[in-house]
């Protein structure tokens, strides 16, 4: 049985494991994770959702809601989404995105965006459409860049 719930402090170890496999162009720091994960759990405009099969974590999603002027309301930005390799193709990614969209629309969001083309076909299967590409500037010495 699949469940999708807001993450808790008990999910930190599982999410840290997923993060290391999600972040292909970055080398996540355990120290930074330990500092930032609790802040995200408390953030009013952030969602970290965990997918569980029979109680075992099999994927997670991190997204933020940002109030905009141009879109006429908050937009949802899906920042991280990862499903355990052994459970791909079972509808877990779709269920995580649907759950965060349900929360976003209920919170008044008017749009959802994904700042990457990494899983373009997956998102297109969910109804997302290609839009602008991004520009990025990283703090010097802040790690490897895409
Ligand atoms: C992208 C990812 C989250 C998909 O998770 P998943 O649980 O395997 O996806 P689902 O089983 O829910 O698939 C949903 C739909 O997307 C399609 N899909 C999934 N992965 C796909 C791929 N790589 N290429 C094309 N279509 C894909 C499925 O066929 C399915 O379509 P359908 O329902 O019409 O049959 C997973 O492959 C992953 O964790 N990838 C590595 C991290 C990543 O790229 N994250 C996204 C960037 S934020």
Is residue 135 domain-resident? no
Q: Which residue would you say has higher pLDDT here, 15 or 141?
A: 15
Domain of 25? 2-125
Q: How many domains, the chain?
A: 1
Apex 17 CA angle, 14 and 19, nearest 5: 110
Is residue 132 domain-resident? no
Cα–Cα distance for residue pair 104/22, rounded to 1 Å: 23
Is residue 97 domain-resident? yes
User: Domain with 96 in it: what CATH number?
Assistant: 3.40.630.30
Cα–Cα distance for residue pair 79/116, rounded to 1 Å: 9
Minimum-distance ligand 1 atom for the alpha carbon of 22: 42
DSSP 8-state secondary structure symbol assigned to residue 66: E
Is residue 140 domain-resident? no
Calculate what percentage of the chain has a pLDDT beyond 70. Answer: 96
Confidence of residue 3 (pLDDT cuts 50, 70, 90): very high
Is residue 98 domain-resident? yes
Cβ atoms of 52 and 88 within 8 Å: the answer is: no
Give residues (CB < 6 A) around ligand 1.
22, 80-83, 88-94, 114, 116, 118-119, 121-122, 125
Average pLDDT rounded to a whole number, residues 68-83: 98
Q: What is the pLDDT of residues 25-68, one digit of tens each?
A: 899 999 999 999 999 999 999 999 999 999 999 999 999 999 99
Is residue 141 domain-resident? no
Is residue 144 domain-resident? no
pLDDT at 127: 98
Res. 145: pLDDT tops 50: no
DSSP 8-state secondary structure symbol assigned to residue 50: E
pLDDT at 80: 98
Minimum-distance ligand 1 atom for the alpha carbon of 88: 8
Whether this model's pTM surpasses 0.75: yes
Is residue 90 domain-resident? yes
Confidence of residue 146 (pLDDT cuts 50, 70, 90): very low
């Amino acid at each position: 049985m699949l469940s999708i719930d807001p993450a808790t402090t008990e999910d930190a170890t599982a999410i840290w494991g997923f993060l290391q496999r999600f972040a292909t162009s970055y080398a996540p720091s355990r120290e930074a994770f330990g500092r930032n994960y609790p802040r995200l759990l408390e953030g009013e405009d952030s969602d970290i959702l965990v997918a569980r099969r029979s109680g075992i974590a099999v994927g997670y999603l991190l997204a933020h809601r940002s109030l905009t002027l141009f879109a006429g309301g908050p937009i949802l930005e899906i920042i991280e989404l990862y499903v355990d390799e052994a459970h791909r193709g079972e509808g877990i990614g779709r269920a995580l995105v649907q759950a965060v969209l349900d929360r976003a629309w209920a919170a008044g969001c008017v749009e959802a965006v994904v700042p990457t083309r990494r899983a373009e076909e997956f998102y297109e299967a969910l109804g997302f459409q290609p839009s602008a590409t991004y520009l990025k500037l990283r703090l010097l010495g802040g790690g490897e860049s895409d």
